[in-house]
Amino acid sequence: PLVGRRAVVTGSTSGIGLGIARALAGAGAEVVLNSFTDAEADHALAREMGAEFGVAASYRRADMARAEDCRALVAGGCDILVNNAGVQHVAPIDSFPPEAWDRIIAINLSSAFHTIAAALPGMRERGWGRVVNVASAHGLTASPYKSAYVAAKHGLVGLTKTAALETAGQGITANAICPGYVLTPLVEAQIPDQMAAHGMDRETVIREVMLARQPSRQFATVDQIGGTAVFLCSEAAAQVTGTTISVDGGWTAL
């Protein structure tokens, strides 16, 4: 259903971004993968994805901390823009390093402003576009010690609503996906340490420690986030705009 659409997914060489890119490729879209590196492995990943799904796929380096890079990434056309790149830093507000604050706001929030600004004119010309912003349960609720991340993700939800209003009725939608805890390679890698630290087995540490705030006590998966993104890009979702879809096992219902 997405044949003929070109998708740019920021921060897509691992985790959720990779899952979304694979789901979009699976639905027939051309995909542009991105990260801030320029390794042979990045280009190989794109080649393999293209071959697996029979779509055009490429990799473009762009540092989402830099406004010019963000805008250059979507130059050349983009029907589906997925703003996924994100970083975290955990510290109390009174000792939160200002550089870490600035970097998180730049990568998790300002990058989406720049990519959307650069993508909208082409979407308007073609009369079709999908903006999918990967926010978080922390775009709707807070946790202590994550001030910059929570502020950036709430800001991203606000930017999503504004983009939706400015494009309403133009064949373009803008929405945010708000994942709870997702089982990415990064999260998977923390499980052994948590098991050792708490003296618990894998299932117990997942249920009692890692997913304490997720009522389902189950991780969301990158495939589920990918499926949500594909839905938002479908014609069924043409009137879904300016909103959030939580994929969080009930976190935000609490």
Residues that bind ligand NAD (CB under 6 A): 10-11, 13-17, 35-36, 63-65, 84-87, 107, 134, 136, 179, 181-182, 184, 186-187
By C-beta, is 122 or 226 nearer to ligand NAD? Answer: 226
By C-beta, is 84 or 228 nearer to ligand NAD? Answer: 84
Q: What is the Cα–Cα distance from 81 to 174, expressed in whole angstroms?
A: 9
What minimum distance in Å lies between the beta carbon of 126 and ligand NAD?
A: 26
What minimum distance in Å lies between the beta carbon of 170 and ligand NAD?
A: 26
**Counting beta carbons within 10 angstroms of the beta carbon of residue 121, is it exposed (0 to 12), middle (13 to 18) or buried (19 or more)?**
exposed
By C-beta, is 36 or 128 nearer to ligand NAD? Answer: 36
- Token pair 């499926």 is at which residue? 227
DSSP bridge partners of 61: 35
By C-beta, is 54 or 68 nearer to ligand NAD? Answer: 68
The residue ranges of DSSP E strands in 24-135, in sequence order, are: 30-35, 57-61, 80-83, 129-134
What minimum distance in Å lies between the beta carbon of 102 and ligand NAD?
A: 12
**Counting beta carbons within 10 angstroms of the beta carbon of residue 144, is it exposed (0 to 12), middle (13 to 18) or buried (19 or more)?**
exposed
Question: Of how many residues is the chain composed?
Answer: 254
What minimum distance in Å lies between the beta carbon of 237 and ligand NAD?
A: 20
By C-beta, is 124 or 217 nearer to ligand NAD? Answer: 217
Handedness of CA 120, 125, 63, 242 (dihedral sign): positive
149 is catalytic: yes
CB within 8 Å of 67: residues ≥ 6 apart? 110, 114
User: What pairing do the DSSP bridges indicate for beta strands 129-134 and 80-83?
Assistant: parallel
What minimum distance in Å lies between the beta carbon of 106 and ligand NAD?
A: 8
Exactly one of 59, 145, 149, 181 is catalytic; which is it?
A: 149
Which residues are tagged catalytic? 149
